[in-house]
Chains A and B, each alone.
Chain A
Amino acid sequence: GAGVSQSPRYKVTKRGQDVALRCDPISGHVSLYWYRQALGQGPEFLTYFNYEAQQDKSGLPNDRFSAERPEGSISTLTIQRTEQRDSAMYRCASSPGRRESDTQYFGPGTRLTVL
C-alpha cells in the first residue's frame, strides 16, 4: 500500500509569506506527527494528533506555527509570516495506534527554504 506522502516536496518562499505543508498519512492510521529536522540533526517534535484531536502541541516553536487534521486523515502544518530560521526539512509520520510509542512511518519530507 501507499506510504506517507507529503506535498510539496520542496517549497521556496520569501520572508513574511505564509506556507501550508500537507501530509497524507497511511490509510487507517490513527496518529499523525509533525517534526522539523535541521541538516545534520535529529527530528524535532512539533505536534501530534490522534484522529482529529491535537494531543500535544508543546513542540510548536511559537504562535506562527499551527496544525490541523480536521477529518482525522490529511493534516496541514501552517507557518505564518515565515522567517529565515524556519528553513528546514519538515517531516510527517503516522502510526496505526494511539500510543506515542507505536511505530511511526515517516514521509519523504518537505524541504522549506525561506529567502
Chain B
Amino acid sequence: LAKTTQPISMDSYEGQEVNITCSHNNIATNDYITWYQQFPSQGPRFIIQGYKTKVTNEVASLFIPADRKSSTLSLPRVSLSDTAVYYCLVGVLYSGSARQLTFGSGTQLTVLP
C-alpha cells in the first residue's frame, strides 16, 4: 500500500505560523483530504477538510495543489496547547482501482514558549 508521508516532527515558537505537509501520491480521485489532531491518550480530533485549492476555518487553513498529490495544513499563531500529533487522512489507491482510507505517518508538533 502506497505510503502517505509527513515529517516526523516540527518545532515552533508561540505566535508563529506552522505549515505541515502531507504527501499522498496515490490519492483516490474523488477523495477528500482530512486533517486530524491527536493529544496523548486521546483519539484523533477533526481539524479541517478539503478537496482542492484552499479551505479555511476558525482554526486552520488547508492548501491543496491542483494535482492533489500533497496537502499543507497551516496553523496560524500557534500556542502551547497546539502541541500534538497531526495526521492527514486520505483514500489511497492500490492494486488498480481498490482504495483504502489511510492515515499519514503523523507529525509531532512541539510549540515552545
Q: Which residues from chain A contact B91 at a C-beta distance below 8 Å?
A: 100-101
Cα distance A97–B47 when bound, in Å?
17
CB neighbors of A among B86-100 (8 A): 87, 91, 98, 100
For residue A65, CB closer than 8 A to chain B, the reply is no
> Given A42-B87, A42-B103, A42-B106: A101 and B32 within 8 A (CB)?
yes
Q: With CB as the reference atom, state the residue of chain B lying closest to A91.
A: B43
Q: Total A-B residue pairs with C-beta atoms closer than 8 Å?
A: 51
Q: Which residues from chain B contact A35 at a C-beta distance below 8 Å?
A: 103
Cα distance A109–B40 when bound, in Å?
12
For the complex, would chain B's binding face be called helix, strand, loop or mixed by DSSP majority?
strand
Q: Is the CB of B101 within 8 A of A107?
A: no
- In which size bucket is the chain B interface? 10 to 19
For residue B13, CB closer than 8 A to chain A, the reply is no
For residue B105, CB closer than 8 A to chain A, the reply is yes
For residue A49, CB closer than 8 A to chain B, the reply is no
Q: Is the CB of A44 within 8 A of B46?
A: no
Most B CB contacts (10 A, CB to CB) among A56, A91, A93, A100 go to A100
Taken residue by residue from 100 to 115, chain A's Cβ proximity to chain B (1 for < 8 Å, 0 otherwise) reads as 1101111111000000
> Given A91-B43, A93-B43, A104-B46: A42 and B34 within 8 A (CB)?
no
Can you list 27 A-B pairs with a CB-CB distance of less than 8 A?
A: A4-B43, A33-B101, A35-B103, A41-B105, A41-B106, A42-B87, A42-B103, A43-B44, A43-B103, A44-B103, A45-B101, A56-B100, A91-B44, A100-B91, A100-B101, A101-B31, A101-B32, A101-B34, A103-B46, A104-B44, A104-B46, A106-B42, A106-B44, A106-B45, A107-B43, A108-B42, A109-B43
Partner-B contacts on A (CB < 8 A): 4, 33, 35, 41-45, 48, 56, 58-59, 91, 93, 100-101, 103-109
